[in-house]
Amino acid sequence: MSIRACGFDGKPDKNNSDGDGRTEFMKKEEAPPMVSVIIPTHNRGWILPEAVDSVLNQTCREFELIVVDDGSTDDTARILTGYGTDISIIHQENRGVSAARNRGIHSSRGEYIAFLDSDDLWLPEKLAVQLAYFNDHPQYHICQTEEIWIRKGVRVNPKKRHKKLSGMIFEKCLPLCLVSPSAVMMRHSLFDDIGVFDESLPACEDYDLWLRTTWKYPVGLIETPLIIKRGGHDDQLSGMPELDKFRIQALLKALESPNLDAGQTRAAAAVLAEKCKIYAAGCRKHGRPDQADGYLSLAEKYMKP
């Protein structure tokens, strides 16, 4: 791939170590790219090249690709080195997916940001179609595409409750996350308003970000599936136990902010109370009665009119 088409000459500008074992390769720029693509990865050498190649094979050439290696101990570093100057590589100590995405955001130069999880794939027209969408809908700050789901190598159909929606979707996003990081493109300036990923959350960090986004901004939807979302492997964060615990944290953050209107507050409080009751039942089942009582008290607090 010739990166000249993406707005810079593809030659490394510097090889800089920041003192904690992290090395960052920056590219000398002629002009900022239209899109900064960010792939966070940790020990995904077995599948990462497919994600990287799906970006490099995009029909749109106006992008930079930043891969953030979050402290991998497998062959990820060797694999990434093999791409030469086709990509920018950031190595950091293992700090989690939120820190990796944030490092990519802070290093990016594009007008738009697009994320790709290292186990997912893009179809070749993904970036081009989303850029065209923003050109036709300048009022939008974020859009996503439909997706194809693959579980353990087999195509599956999302359930009705996973159906993606467009517009002001805050209330619909409360029960479960309806925005997929790999399907999203966002204006870079949006992060100045909503902030970046919460690095204190080991999971559901995207759920938290989309709640902070959708209370204020409509989400555009491209109904064509342009990503392949692959799941069923053991290292997925979505398989982490006690996910509701982190969803509760995100909901509490939303309710403690002054941003929600009365209807949004009522909806968020109702979902929080329900999730607290469910999580409390799980705590009691696993012999943690004190935690169960704490979450039940929290549910009662938010169930009050």
Q: Give the pLDDT mean for 241-263.
A: 92
pLDDT at 231: 81
Q: Which of 196, 36, 19, 200 is nearest to 92 (CA)?
A: 19
With 0.85 as the threshold, say if the pTM is over it: yes
Contact in structure between 197 and 102 (CB atoms under 8 Å):
yes
Domains of the chain (ranges; CATH) run 3-235 (3.90.550.10), 243-303 (no CATH)
Which residues are CB-neighbours of 149 under 8 A, at least 6 positions away? 155, 156, 157, 158, 229, 231
- 297 CB neighbour count, 10 Å cutoff: 11
Contact in structure between 192 and 136 (CB atoms under 8 Å):
no
Instruction: Tell which wins on pLDDT, 146 or 238.
Output: 146
What is the tens place of the pLDDT at every residue in 179-231?
A: 999 999 999 999 999 999 999 999 999 999 999 999 999 999 999 999 999 98
Lowest mean pLDDT segment, chosen from 10-14, 199-203, 233-237, 300-304:
10-14
* Burial call 4-41: b when 16+ CB within 10 Å, e when fewer: eebbbebeeeeeeeeeeebebbbbeeeebbbbbbbbbb
| pLDDT confidence bin for 241, thresholds 50/70/90 | low
What is the tens place of the pLDDT at every residue in 45-90?
A: 999 999 999 999 999 999 999 999 999 999 999 999 999 999 999 9
CA-to-CA distance for 276 and 43, rounded, in angstroms?
33
| pLDDT confidence bin for 171, thresholds 50/70/90 | very high
CA-to-CA distance for 230 and 50, rounded, in angstroms?
12
Contact in structure between 68 and 95 (CB atoms under 8 Å):
no
Among left, alpha and beta (phi > 0; psi -120 to 50; other), residue 17 is: beta
